[in-house]
Structure 1
């Protein structure tokens, strides 16, 4: 394992949180995070934001709002 250092770990943090890295790279970042409080803090913030976005994406707009938006889109497409 190679300690990536803070700059590289933070640059790859989003991919790490989304499990988009090769296993070896993910292992290296996990090792760095375990030994670096600053980067682990960044990981925790990123995790909270990722979870908030995932929850927001599951929400459905009220039907009347959806109807208004679709009506406006159709009006714009007609012009």
Structure 2
């Protein structure tokens, strides 16, 4: 493996965090992150944000709010 450098690591960080890279590219970025404090910090922030977004997407709206939104949508659709 070779050090891919900060530019490549930061450019492909999101894909790396979502396991969307080829194994060789992911290994290069992982190795770089392990040896670069600045990129390791960026990766940590990305991981925290990814977890927060995933958690937020699992939450559901309260049933009464959901019903109100659906009613509003139906009213708008029926008036067009």
Common topology (TM > 0.5): yes
Unaligned regions of 5+ residues in structure 1, if any? none
Q: Does 1:71 align with 2:71?
A: yes
How many residue pairs match? The answer is: 79
Unaligned regions of 5+ residues in structure 2, if any? none
Structure 1 outlier segments of 4+, above 3 Å: none
Map 1:1-79; keep pairs closer than 5 Å.
1-78=1-78, 79=80
Deviation at 1:11, TM superposition (A): 0.8
Distance 1:12 1:47 in 2: 13
Distance 2:64 2:16 in 1: 39
CA RMSD of aligned residues (A): 0.8
Q: Could you tell me the TM-score, scaled by structure 2's length?
A: 0.93
